């Protein structure tokens, strides 16, 4: 009965989002209520479960998401993102501009949400294409791959961060394990794969993209821009390395763990950006505040969807469905890592949203991770990466990223499937392979 109710709830969620066209936040809350009622949960307990799911999920995310989007806003507004891209193009040369865009998107993507990063970097893609006469789609896939990988795999993005919270995974270790996998995924999807796309012609709408850039003399330096963009990752990685290299009672380790906490590292990085990309470059604090406040507005719906995903997860858990499903899955001849990836993939295909797919899959698989025999053998950090990889698989017409790529480059549906969808699928498959290999090693 539990498996039928779970499948039915996912189908119902898909119906609300894809057919009725309800907002994902509303659809997730309605689905959570429906599951609780059909499972026979007392109304008071059901409401309490939803509130608990929202609270436990958002408690660890608000600071990370808030400071992350404000940091991304400053990177874009100050010209730091433009400086990173243009400097790398000079380093690699026009013929290898694809490498510059891959590295730029990966670097910027670490501190910026996918949609924001896409909109910010698209003008650079068009500028580079005009300067080098390289195909737009060829360069566009290179840029999109870096953003997509960081969006699906790595904290401090909402999906991976929320999943890490659910699995009680260490953020720093998730980054340390995830970055090598991410690099391989980007090399295949963003460097090798575009070589097969040179004959696909883009037909972007006239006037859609403004290719104007800031003058060179108004840009921050490349070392400063790169340091600020990478600072959250560097702080979290330092804390993780410290855990391996320093005694547990070391005061230095305690400091590293404090500054390497995902929330604190984002706060420190945002502070560095305010000072070095803002105040010291002559910008008034009131202007910086207004700009970053405007960027926060764009995260409201992201936060609400993530919160609703947490509510759905909690109802699955408190109603006992999660434990029933875990008992079934436990007897299947599949590694929990592969199982988590497969569940996330199925939900991604049916629902579209990578964040919703990741959170829903994490809620289903979480009770399995509570089993001592499983928890003793499976790294929660690798489980985060497995779910994240599955949540990127097979993007198609129910995913906003699919339509953004299609419309910005003016592609047909067929060509969007041949470019964007295959790129996302490559990223998801490479992620699974990387996780399985790391599981053997660690």
- Residue 352 is predicted with a pLDDT of 67
Closest of 258, 101, 247 to residue 172, by C-alpha? 258
Read off the tokens for 165.
């919270």
- Residue 15 is predicted with a pLDDT of 86
Tell me the DSSP string of 93-115.
-GGGHHHHHHHHHHHHHTTS-HH
The answer to whether 400 and 352 have CB atoms below 8 angstroms apart is yes
End-to-end CA distance of the chain: give it in Å, rounded. Answer: 37
Contacts of 380 (CB under 8 A, 6+ apart): 164, 167, 168, 169, 170, 369
The answer to whether 136 and 167 have CB atoms below 8 angstroms apart is no
> How many Å apart are CA 83 and CA 435, to the nearest integer?
33
> How many Å apart are CA 80 and CA 188, to the nearest integer?
27
| Dihedral sign of CA atoms 16, 148, 424, 419 in order | positive
> How many Å apart are CA 122 and CA 114, to the nearest integer?
12
Place of tokens 């401090």: 156
- Residue 87 is predicted with a pLDDT of 82
The answer to whether 314 and 49 have CB atoms below 8 angstroms apart is yes
Query: How does 102-111 read in b/e, with b if 16+ C-beta sit within 10 Å?
Result: bbbbbbbbbb
Q: What domain range is 282 assigned to?
A: 2-441
> How many Å apart are CA 344 and CA 391, to the nearest integer?
5
- Residue 330 is predicted with a pLDDT of 60
Contacts of 230 (CB under 8 A, 6+ apart): 107, 110
Torsion of CA 407, 411, 412, 416, to 10 degrees: -90
> How many Å apart are CA 254 and CA 397, to the nearest integer?
47
pTM of the complete model? 0.69
Q: What is the pLDDT along the chain (442 residues), one digit of tens a residue?
A: 677 887 888 788 878 877 888 887 898 899 999 999 999 999 999 999 999 888 877 776 678 777 877 887 787 788 887 787 778 778 888 778 888 888 888 887 776 667 666 766 776 787 678 767 889 999 999 999 999 998 888 887 777 888 888 888 988 889 889 999 999 999 999 999 999 998 898 888 765 544 556 788 888 998 998 888 888 878 877 887 887 788 888 899 999 989 988 788 889 989 999 999 999 988 889 888 887 887 777 667 767 877 887 788 788 878 887 667 656 666 677 788 998 998 888 888 776 678 778 888 888 888 877 777 777 788 999 999 999 999 999 887 667 678 778 877 888 888 988 999 999 999 999 999 999 999 998 7
The answer to whether 171 and 158 have CB atoms below 8 angstroms apart is no
DSSP H or E stretch at residue 49: helix 43-59
> How many Å apart are CA 99 and CA 88, to the nearest integer?
8
Query: How many structural domains are present in the chain?
Result: 1
């Amino acid at each position: 009965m539990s498996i039928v109710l779970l499948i039915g709830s996912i189908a119902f969620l898909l119906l609300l989002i894809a057919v009725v066209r309800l907002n994902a936040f509303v659809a997730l809350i309605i689905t959570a209520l429906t599951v609780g009622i059909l499972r026979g949960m007392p109304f008071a307990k059901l409401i309490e479960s939803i509130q608990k799911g929202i609270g436990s999920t958002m408690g660890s995310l608000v600071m990370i998401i808030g400071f992350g989007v404000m940091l991304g806003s400053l990177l874009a507004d100050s010209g730091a993102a433009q400086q990173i891209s243009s400097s790398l193009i000079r380093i690699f040369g026009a013929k290898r501009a694809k490498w510059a865009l891959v590295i730029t998107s990966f670097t910027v993507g670490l501190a910026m949400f996918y949609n924001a990063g896409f909109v910010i970097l698209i003008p650079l893609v068009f500028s580079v294409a005009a300067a080098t006469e390289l195909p737009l789609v060829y360069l566009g896939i290179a840029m999109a791959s870096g953003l997509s990988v960081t969006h699906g795999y790595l904290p401090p993005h909402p999906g991976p961060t929320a999943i890490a919270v659910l699995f009680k995974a260490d953020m720093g270790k998730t980054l340390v394990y995830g970055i090598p996998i991410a690099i391989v995924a980007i090399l295949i999807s963003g460097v090798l794969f575009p070589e097969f796309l040179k004959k696909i012609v883009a037909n972007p709408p006239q006037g859609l993209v403004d290719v104007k850039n800031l003058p060179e003399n108004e840009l921050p330096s490349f070392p400063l821009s790169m340091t600020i963009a990478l600072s959250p990752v560097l702080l979290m990685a330092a804390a993780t390395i410290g855990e391996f290299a320093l005694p547990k009672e070391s005061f230095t380790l305690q400091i590293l763990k404090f500054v390497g906490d995902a929330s604190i590292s984002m706060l420190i990085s945002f502070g560095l950006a305010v000072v070095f990309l803002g105040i010291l470059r002559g910008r008034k604090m009131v202007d910086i505040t207004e700009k970053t406040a405007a960027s926060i507005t764009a995260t409201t719906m992201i936060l609400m969807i993530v919160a609703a995903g947490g509510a759905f997860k909690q109802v699955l858990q408190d109603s006992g469905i999660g434990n029933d499903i875990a008992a079934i899955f436990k007897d299947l001849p599949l590694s929990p890592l592969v199982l988590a990836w497969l569940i996330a993939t199925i939900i991604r295909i049916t629902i579209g949203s990578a964040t919703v797919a990741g959170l829903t899959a994490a809620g289903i698989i979480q009770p399995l991770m509570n089993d001592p025999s499983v928890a003793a053998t499976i790294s929660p950090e690798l489980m985060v990466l497995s779910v994240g990889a599955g949540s990127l698989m097979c993007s198609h017409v129910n995913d906003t990223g699919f339509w953004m790529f299609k419309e910005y480059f003016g592609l047909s549906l067929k060509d969007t499937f041949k470019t964007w969808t295959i790129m996302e699928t490559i990223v998801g498959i490479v992620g699974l392979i990387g996780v399985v290999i790391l599981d053997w090693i660690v």
